[in-house]
A = this chain, B = another copy of it.
Amino acid sequence: MDKSGMDKSVRSFGSQDKLRKLENKDSLFLCVIATTLTSRIPGITGAGASPELTDYTPAADVELIAHGAPKCLPEIPQTVVDGGAAPTPAVITKASLEMADIPFLVADAGSAVKPGLPYVNINDKQGENIVTGKAVSNPLEIFNKGIILGKTLSKLTDHLVIGESTPAGTTTALGVLEAMGYEAWGKISGSTPENPHSLKRQTVEQGLETAGLASEIPLDPFQAVGTVGDPMIPAVAGITAGSTVPVTLAGGTQMTAVCAFLKEAVENFDFQDVSIATTIFVATDETADINYIARQIAPIDIFAVDPGFEKSENQGLQKYTQGAVKEGAGAGGAMFAAQLKGVHIDDIRLKTEELCREIF
């Protein structure tokens, strides 16, 4: 393990057996993209230079990973913080996958802007603003298509790593968790240092009230996503349910919503072969508590990778250590998967810095 620096860089809230089981396996990284009109609410997300530009963030993220530059818009997604800009976590994902030679695929669960590369179509239509209480019109269809995709992809790899890019996705994850009866108020992470908890809560509550379901909680998972969720959640849950190989959910608190969905949508779902891998920035986020949420669902192994950005000369990456961005495009899980294949965390950081110099 030491050769990849895992002992020091990975904070594990899970079993060491799991780590050994996943080591040196062939991995496939799938990034599931989606948008909802929720991200247009001013101040709710940092994943884009303006609320309108958040529509482009998922497509631009996966284009950056595949091509080294976004094709769908001239600007590269950055989060503006205190007058400076932190680069999209897609750069970390790209660095990790390239160093470990891990194949990269994209699936569209419903993104407003489609990426300029071949992608797996699961669902065309983006989600609504969840304040309407009509977030996603076809969660069952998305889940079922996800199952088919998970079955297929697990014939092509030994370890499926699933990331996501969904602007305002922590708000829709909060919606799904709360609608399903979990205690998640104030526990969900966010892409800005000042996590706008009350705005997120108001948005979710308004959606549940508009739908006339505020007093019907807990909702079933499909109703929860349909009312106040996003299309990424049933897609990733379906892919995970369909997989016959171990799955690493590459994301932060949003992936707990996927786990909650799975627990209720699949009878006796076994979390033995499912882990969450995220960044240390999510795991140590003082404005959130991923473990508190996960504990309510099931014993889920959570791994948190520390890329050591405090050592970085890149000021944008340093902003991650001050609470900006934190996670996205499966950055934490991509680092985790690269380390499992023997790549050292210091090399991932150096490669990320190199890409930042080239790209920005």
Contacts and interface: CB of A to CB of B under 8 A. Distances in A.
A117 B148 contact: yes
A114 B118 contact: no
A312 interface: no
Interface string A151-168: 010011100000000000
A317 interface: no
Copies assembled: 2
Nearest to A103: B155
Contact of A120 (B103, B120, B156): B120
A132 to B, nearest CB: 26
A102 B146 CA distance: 19
A49 interface: no
B152 A103 contact: yes
A337 B104 CA distance: 25
A117 B148 CA distance: 7
B121 A145 contact: no
A119 B155 CA distance: 16
A208 interface: no
The size bracket of the interface on A is: 20 to 34
A241 interface: no
A320 to B, nearest CB: 29
A120 B121 contact: yes
Nearest to A117: B148
A165 to B, nearest CB: 17
Contacts of A119: 120-121
A80 interface: no
A87 to B, nearest CB: 23
A118 B117 contact: no
A149 B118 contact: yes
A107 interface: yes
Nearest to A149: B118
A19 interface: no
B28 A105 contact: no
B122 A152 contact: no
Q: Which 4 A/B pairs are nearest by Cβ-Cβ distance?
A: A103-B155, A118-B149, A156-B156, A121-B121
